[in-house]
């Protein structure tokens, strides 16, 4: 909607309705607005303006005798034209700076980022690991750390590093582990990540039957490691059930189920980024085109690695969201993660 169609006092009334509903989760009436906000208008005048805003599709009335609540369109006008940008308090900025600068494990850093974003925003947080589109395997290394225990390290051409401890089915000498490492590296180097499949595993193991059991252990784990590159990390889903809108399990269950379907959450974040290449994206209610999120809003910010957009940090909550605080939280966390990932080669 063109904001110029609204008079200055209609804009102030819409802003006040959104603010009050975000704080209270209760429909907002004319008497509440005249009492709590310095609008300089009578309750009767406010009531007429509320009716006009409802006709414009910016407000709706849940019940005949109730006050108004913002519609998705009303939230959109608020976010685009009426919202005042918030700055994080000093104590919350200090929390962001406390994000573990010594952490050398990418997945743990992303989990820390999700937890802290949830704390800062008071919403459910989602963090997307750096994308690996078009990435190939640069190296595969196997390092002995025990008689039947090795460290498996995968490095991609995009600079992502993943490692995990693998328990072999039987003991292997350092020489055998070195042979396995060299063989895997020779067989897998420069293969696209998405070409690492169970069929690949069978083809490779067929060439080295003597070490088939060891190779199955290692290649099986490699498959799960590459899957982590397409995962999303979700934190604080419990807060959704605490929202008045979702107090009934029938309303919150579909949302929680959607968050468990990581591929669909990742696809939504992809669509948001591709639709409009700006740092912060906001999808309100039906704008996400995901039926399970029809009563939710998603706010995302993009973080970068080596100057290129790599992944997203998002918060998800009811459409009755403190959008200003949510934007401030994801922007600050994305900036912090960008600085932490810059040139560090995190694993």
Is 94 found in the same domain as 242? yes
Q: What is the pLDDT of residue 99?
A: 82
Is 206 inside a domain boundary? yes
Q: Domain check: are 199 and 167 in the same one?
A: yes
**Which is more confidently placed, 246 or 275?**
246
CA angle 193–199–205, rounded 5-degree value? 100
CATH of the domain at 225: 3.30.390.60
Residue 165 domain-assigned (yes or no): yes
170: tokens are 């039987």
- Tens digit of each residue's pLDDT (9 = 90 or more) over 318-331: 999 999 999 999 99
Indicate if 97 and 118 belong to the same structural domain: yes
How far is Cα 209 from Cα 100, in angstroms, rounded to an integer?
44
**Contact predicate 271/287, CB 8 Å:** no
For 69, residues 6+ apart whose C-beta sits below 8 A from its C-beta are 17, 21, 27, 28, 59, 60, 61, 62, 320
CA-CA distance, 67 to 133, in Å (whole number)? 49
Residue 277: the pLDDT is 67
Q: What's the CATH number where 7 sits? A: 1.10.10.10
Tell me the helices (H) and strands (E) count for the chain, helix number first. 13, 10
| Spatial separation of the C-alpha atoms in residues 266 and 137, rounded to whole Å | 22
Looking at the structure, do residues 44 and 113 belong to the same domain, yes or no? no
pTM listed for this prediction: 0.70
206 vs 234 pLDDT, higher one:
234
Mean pLDDT calculated for residue range 191-215: 75
Same domain, residue pair 300 and 247: yes
In this prediction, residue 108 carries a pLDDT of 82
62 DSSP assignment: S
The CATH number linked to 304 is 3.30.450.40
- Based on the fold, state whether residues 332 and 248 are members of the same structural domain: yes
**Looking at the domain assignment, is residue 346 inside a domain?**
no
Q: Which of 33, 27, 70 minimizes the C-alpha distance to 48? A: 33
CA 154 to centroid of chain Cα atoms: 24
When comparing pLDDT for 89 and 273, which is higher? 89
Query: Do 210 and 149 fall into the same domain?
Result: yes
Of the candidates 229, 261, 293, which is a domain's last residue?
229
pLDDT at position 255 over 70: yes
Please compute Rg for the chain using Cα positions: 25
User: What is the predicted pLDDT for the residue at 210?
Assistant: 65
**Predicted local distance difference test score (pLDDT) of residue 104:** 63
pLDDT at 198 over 90: no
Domain-terminating residue out of 229, 247, 278: 229
Are residue 238 and residue 324 in the same domain, yes or no?
yes
Share of the chain above pLDDT 70, in %: 93
Q: Which H or E run includes 139? A: strand 137-146
Report residue 327 as tokens.
């934007």
pLDDT of residue 209: 67
For the cut 90, the answer to whether the pLDDT of residue 1 exceeds it is no
Domain that holds residue 301: 90-129+232-341
pLDDT > 90: percent of the chain? 51
pLDDT tens for each residue of 47-72: 999 999 999 999 999 887 778 999 99
Structure tokens at 142: 């196997």
Confidence band of 221 (pLDDT split at 50, 70, 90) = confident
Pairwise CA distance, residues 163 & 239, whole Å:
32
Would you state the pLDDT for residue 347? Answer: 44
Task: Indicate if 255 and 298 belong to the same structural domain.
Answer: yes
Handedness of CA 235, 85, 23, 252 (dihedral sign): negative
CA atoms within 13 A on the CB side of 182: 6
Give the pLDDT confidence score for residue 115 in this predicted structure. Answer: 92
Q: Are 170 and 267 within one domain?
A: no
Query: For residues 310 and 163, what is the distance between their CA atoms, to the nearest angstrom?
Result: 20
In a domain, residue 347? The reply is: no
In tens, the pLDDT along 72-83 reads 999 999 999 999
Residue 203's pLDDT band (boundaries 50, 70, 90)?
confident
Looking at residue 199, its pLDDT comes to 80
Can you give the pLDDT at residue 259?
Answer: 92
pLDDT confidence tier of residue 332, bands split at 50, 70 and 90: very high
8 CB contacts (<8 Å, ≥6 apart)? none
- Per-residue pLDDT of 285-301, as tens digits, reads 999 999 999 999 999 99
pLDDT over 50 (residue 253): yes
Alpha helices in the chain (DSSP H): 8-24, 30-36, 43-55, 72-77, 90-97, 106-121, 174-188, 198-206, 212-227, 238-241, 249-260, 262-275, 323-341
Answer whether residue 130 shows pLDDT above 90.
Answer: no
Q: Are 90 and 332 in contact (CB under 8 A)?
A: no
Using one digit for the tens of pLDDT, what is the confidence trace for 264-280? 888 898 888 887 767 89
Per the structure, the count of domains in the chain is: 3
Instruction: Judge whether 275 lies within some domain.
Output: yes
- Domain membership of residue 176 (yes or no) is yes
In angstroms, the CA 169 to CA 272 distance is 45
Q: Can you tell me the distance from the alpha carbon of 59 to that of 69, in angstroms, rounded to the nearest whole number?
A: 6
Q: Kindly state the average pLDDT of the residues 172-190.
A: 89
What is the DSSP annotation of 247-290? -SHHHHHHHHHHHH-HHHHHHHHHHHHHH--SSEEEEEGGGG--
When comparing pLDDT for 241 and 205, which is higher?
A: 241
**DSSP β-bridge partners for residue 253:** none
Q: What is the pLDDT of residue 231?
A: 76
User: Domain end: 229, 260, 282, which one?
Assistant: 229
- Please provide the average confidence, as pLDDT, over all residues in the chain: 87
Q: Please check whether residue 218 lies inside any domain of the structure.
A: yes
State whether 156 and 62 are in the same domain.
no
- The answer to whether residue 121 is domain-embedded is yes
Longest Cα–Cα distance of the chain, Å, equals 87
pLDDT at 346: 47
Judgement on whether residues 35 and 76 belong to the same structural domain of the protein: yes
């Amino acid at each position: 909607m063109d904001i110029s169609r609204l008079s200055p006092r209609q804009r102030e009334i819409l802003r006040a309705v959104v603010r009050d509903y975000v704080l209270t989760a209760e429909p907002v009436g004319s008497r509440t607005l005249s009492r709590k906000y310095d609008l300089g208008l009578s309750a009767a005048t406010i009531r007429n303006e509320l009716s006009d805003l409802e006709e414009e599709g910016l407000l709706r009335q849940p019940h005949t005798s109730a006050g108004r609540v913002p519609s998705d369109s009303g939230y959109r006008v608020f976010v685009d034209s009426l919202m005042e940008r918030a700055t994080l308090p000093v104590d919350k900025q200090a929390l962001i700076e406390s994000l573990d600068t010594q952490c050398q494990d990418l997945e743990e850093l992303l989990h820390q980022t999700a937890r802290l974003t949830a704390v800062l925003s008071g919403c459910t947080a989602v963090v997307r690991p750096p994308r690996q589109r078009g990435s190939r395997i640069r190296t595969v290394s196997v390092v002995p750390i025990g008689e039947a225990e090795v460290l498996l390290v995968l490095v991609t051409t995009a600079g992502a590093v993943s490692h995990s401890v693998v328990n072999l089915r039987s003991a292997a000498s350092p020489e055998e582990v070195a042979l396995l490492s060299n063989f895997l590296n020779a067989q897998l180097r420069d293969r696209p990540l998405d070409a690492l499949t169970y069929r690949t595993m069978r083809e490779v193991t067929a060439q080295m039957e003597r070490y088939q059991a060891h190779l199955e252990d290692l290649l099986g784990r490699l498959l799960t490691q590459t899957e982590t590159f397409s995962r999303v990390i979700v934190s604080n889903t419990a807060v959704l059930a605490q929202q008045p809108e979702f107090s009934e399990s029938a309303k919150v269950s579909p949302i929680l189920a959607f968050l468990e379907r990581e591929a669909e959450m990742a696809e939504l974040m992809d669509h948001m980024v591709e639709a409009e290449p700006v740092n912060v994206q906001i999808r309100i209610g039906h704008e996400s085109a995901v039926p399970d999120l029809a009563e939710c809003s998603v706010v995302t910010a993009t973080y970068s690695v080596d100057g290129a957009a790599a992944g997203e940090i998002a918060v998800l909550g009811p459409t009755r969201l403190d959008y200003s605080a949510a934007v401030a939280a994801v922007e600050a966390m994305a900036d912090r993660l960008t600085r932490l990932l810059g040139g560090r080669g995190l694993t």
